[in-house]
C-alpha cells in the first residue's frame, strides 16, 4: 500500500502493531449508493447541471425548475421560503457550495421531504452534503492492521473520519493481541499438543 496517509504504532502485551490509515479510492458514492429515503439532491458542477438523486416531489420540482432557470442560491432560498409559506409545505431546503480543488466547484441542493422520518431534517441535509463533498475530495479512509511480525491482521474501509478509522484499527490490533496471547498460553500449557 503505497498511498498510506499515516501509520500508528499500537503497543500491546503481544508486541507493537502497526495501523495504516489509507485512502479508500473505491468507496461508494454516498448520494447514490446510500439510502436517503425522503431526501433528494441536485448539483451544478462547474456550471453544468448534474442529476444525482434528482429532486422530486412538490418541493423538489419547484427547486429544480428554479435551478434550471439559473436563479442564484439566495434567490432560490428566498423563493422556497415564499413557496413554503403559500403552500404550507414543511419540506426543508439546504443549499451549499463547496470546492473540490481550486478550479473545481459544486453548488448542491438538498430537499428533505415534509413526511420524511429525519428528526432534524436540516442536520440530515447538511450531513449528506458534507459526506458528498468529502467523497468528491477523496477524503474517505480505511485502515490496515499489521501484527508485530508484519503479517496482515485485517482492514475495513469507508470511514469519513480518520479518527474513527484509527480507533477501529486499534481495536483490531488489541483484539488480535488478546487472541495471540491466549493461543500462546494454551500452547505453553501443553493444550495444543493434546488437541
pLDDT tens, position by position, for the chain (195 residues)?
A: 458 889 999 999 999 999 999 999 999 888 877 888 888 888 878 777 665 667 778 898 899 888 888 888 999 999 999 999 999 999 999 999 888 877 888 889 999 998 889 999 999 999 999 999 999 889 999 999 999 999 999 999 999 999 999 999 999 999 999 998 888 777 665 555 444
pLDDT at 1: 46
pLDDT at 90: 94
Which residue segment(s) compose the domain that 46 sits in? 39-137
Asked if residue 32 is part of any domain, the answer here is no
Q: Are residues 10 and 88 in the same domain?
A: no
Q: Are residues 80 and 163 in the same domain?
A: no
Asked if residue 144 is part of any domain, the answer here is yes
Q: Are residues 103 and 183 in the same domain?
A: no
Asked if residue 128 is part of any domain, the answer here is yes
pLDDT at 188: 62
Q: Are residues 126 and 154 in the same domain?
A: no
pLDDT at 51: 59
The Cβ-side half-sphere exposure at 94, using a 13 Å CA radius, reads: 19
Question: CB-based contacts of 173: which residues, under 8 Å, 6+ apart?
Answer: 10, 12, 17, 19, 145, 153
Q: Are residues 161 and 114 in the same domain?
A: no
Asked if residue 98 is part of any domain, the answer here is yes
pLDDT at 161: 94
- CA triple 168-172-173, angle to 5 deg: 120
Asked if residue 1 is part of any domain, the answer here is no
Question: CB-based contacts of 63: which residues, under 8 Å, 6+ apart?
Answer: 42, 55, 76, 80, 93, 109, 111
Q: Are residues 22 and 97 in the same domain?
A: no
Could you give the number of structural domains in the chain?
2
Q: Are residues 91 and 165 in the same domain?
A: no
Q: Are residues 16 and 83 in the same domain?
A: no
pLDDT at 15: 94
Asked if residue 166 is part of any domain, the answer here is yes
Q: Are residues 55 and 120 in the same domain?
A: yes
The number of beta carbons lying within 10 Å of the beta carbon of residue 73 is: 16
pLDDT at 34: 82
Q: Are residues 114 and 95 in the same domain?
A: yes
Q: Are residues 17 and 67 in the same domain?
A: no
Q: Are residues 157 and 179 in the same domain?
A: yes
Amino acid at each position: 500500500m503505497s498511498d498510506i496517509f499515516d501509520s500508528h504504532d499500537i503497543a500491546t502485551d503481544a508486541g507493537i502493531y502497526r495501523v495504516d490509515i489509507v485512502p479508500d479510492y473505491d468507496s461508494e458514492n454516498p448520494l447514490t449508493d446510500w439510502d436517503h429515503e425522503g431526501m433528494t439532491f441536485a448539483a451544478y458542477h462547474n456550471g453544468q447541471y448534474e442529476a444525482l438523486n434528482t429532486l422530486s416531489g412538490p418541493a423538489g420540482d419547484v427547486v429544480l425548475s428554479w435551478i434550471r432557470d439559473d436563479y442564484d442560491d439566495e434567490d432560490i432560498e428566498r423563493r422556497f421560503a415564499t413557496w413554503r409559506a403559500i403552500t404550507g409545505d414543511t419540506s426543508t431546503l439546504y443549499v451549499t457550495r463547496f470546492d473540490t480543488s481550486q478550479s473545481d466547484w459544486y453548488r448542491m441542493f438538498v430537499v428533505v421531504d415534509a413526511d420524511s422520518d429525519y428528526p432534524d431534517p436540516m442536520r440530515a441535509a447538511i450531513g449528506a452534503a458534507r459526506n458528498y463533498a468529502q467523497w468528491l475530495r477523496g477524503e474517505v479512509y480505511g485502515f490496515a492492521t499489521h501484527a508485530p511480525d508484519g503479517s496482515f491482521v485485517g482492514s475495513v474501509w469507508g470511514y469519513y473520519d480518520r479518527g474513527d478509522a484509527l480507533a477501529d484499527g486499534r481495536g483490531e490490533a488489541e483484539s488480535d493481541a488478546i487472541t495471540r496471547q491466549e493461543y500462546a498460553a494454551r500452547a505453553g500449557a501443553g493444550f495444543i499438543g493434546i488437541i
